[in-house]
Amino acid sequence: MKIKLLEKNKEEVRLLIEDITPALANALRRIMISEVPTLAIEWVEIHENTSALFNEMIAHRLGLIPLKFDPKKFNFMDECECGGKGCPLCTVVFAIDKTGPCIVYSKDMKSSNKEVSPISGDFPIVKLLEGQRIKLEAIAKLGIGKEHAKWQAANASYQFVPEIDLKNVKDIDKILEVSPKGIFKKVNNKLVIVDPYRYDEYKFVEELTGQIKVTLNTNKVVFNIESVSGLSPGYIFKKAIEILENKANEFKLELEKIE
Ligand SMILES: [Zn+2]
């Protein structure tokens, strides 16, 4: 298997993977979406709320705020050495105490762990009018997207790579004339492919001219991984591979028992 990095920024990576099967690509995609653990607020204790929003609404909003954390330093509560009671190794407490007039933002959440915070301080939580007050404590724990979407680590998708056959090209100018911008160019009187991943657009040119042939290679995929949590897309991809490996090992162990 060969992996090539096509694009990378803080929230998103695009990878080209060769010699992969559709089944493996799909297993990785599903794990990235629903099984990579992230941290999100699960319980909210409201001490005072005279804002216009119901307690439930505020708790829901807090749950959806992505949190930045170091995944190596957190345990699932039920696997933690505290026995699931909740401790600094498996939970983080955020406190909010604000009085209006103001807008309460995610930057107003005081964290019990200085390494854990919302990924941005600019998420609005509630608007308070003169004299209105909100005082609460919110507890975050690890979870997975399968349980609730607030723990979803990433949006992940893949597409098979198109293969474009230019053997039967006769009229380059005609092809350039009907092609969407940026998929072909003419260099030294030859037609050159510019962005080989735009399958639909090359297919369109195939149908219109009949001079090129576009097929899909199902053993070659381009993966898009966009983080929607406090984890980096590179970490999410590696973690998904680790989770898949553990599943395979568990399966092997169970098989050995029945042999
Ligand atoms: Zn614990």
Question: At which residue do the structure tokens 């696997």 appear?
Answer: 79
**What distance in Å separates the CA atoms of residue 234 and residue 220, rounded to the nearest whole number?**
19
State how far the alpha carbon of 165 is from the alpha carbons of 169, 174, 214, in Å.
9, 17, 6
Are 205 and 182 within 8 A, CB to CB?
A: no
C-alpha 139 – ligand 1 centre gap (Å)? 12
CATH code for the structural domain at 2-34+155-224: 3.30.1360.10
Query: Ligand 1 centre from 214 Cα, in Å?
Result: 55
Residue 79 near residue 57, CB atoms below 8 Å: no
> Residues spanned by CATH 2.170.120.12 within the chain?
38-147
Which residues of the chain does CATH 3.30.1360.10 include?
Answer: 2-34+155-224
Distance in Å, CA 143 to ligand 1 centroid: 14
First to last CA, the chain: 31
pLDDT tens-digit series, residues 104-122? 999 999 999 999 999 999 9
Between the CA of 39 and the centroid of ligand 1 the distance, in Å, is: 14
Cβ contacts of 252 within 8 Å, gap of 6 or more = none
CATH fold of 38-147: RNA Polymerase Alpha Subunit; Chain A, domain 2 (2.170.120)
Residues 22-39 have a mean pLDDT of 95
Centre of ligand 1 to C-alpha 59, Å, is: 22
Name residue, tokens 């909100």: 134
- In whole angstroms, give the CA distance from residue 60 to residue 63: 5
126 CA from centroid of ligand 1 (Å): 30
CA distances from 185 to 164, 181, 203 (A): 14, 9, 16
**207-255 pLDDT per residue, tens:** 999 999 999 988 999 999 999 999 999 999 999 999 999 999 999 999 9
Please calculate the CA angle 253-257-259 and round it to the nearest 5 degrees: 115
Taking the centre of ligand 1 as the mean of its atom positions, its distance from the CA of residue 82, in whole angstroms, is 4
- Separation of CA 116 and ligand 1 centre (Å): 16
- For 83-110, the pLDDT digits (tens) are 999 999 999 999 999 998 999 999 999 9
Ligand 1 centroid, distance to 146 Cα (angstroms): 22
Taking the centre of ligand 1 as the mean of its atom positions, its distance from the CA of residue 141, in whole angstroms, is: 10
- Paired strand residues for 97: 135
Residue 198's pLDDT band, with cuts at 50, 70 and 90, is: confident
Q: Report angle CA 69, 240, 215 to the nearest 5 degrees.
A: 130
36 CA to centre of ligand 1 in angstroms: 19
Beta strand 213-227 with 154-165 is: antiparallel
For residues 108 and 98, the answer to whether their CB atoms sit within 8 Å is yes
* Residue 81 token pair: 């050495």
Whether the predicted pLDDT of 196 surpasses 90 = no
Of 208, 130, 142, residue with least CA distance to 174: 208
13, two tokens:
């990576």
pLDDT above 70 covers a percentage of the chain that reads 100
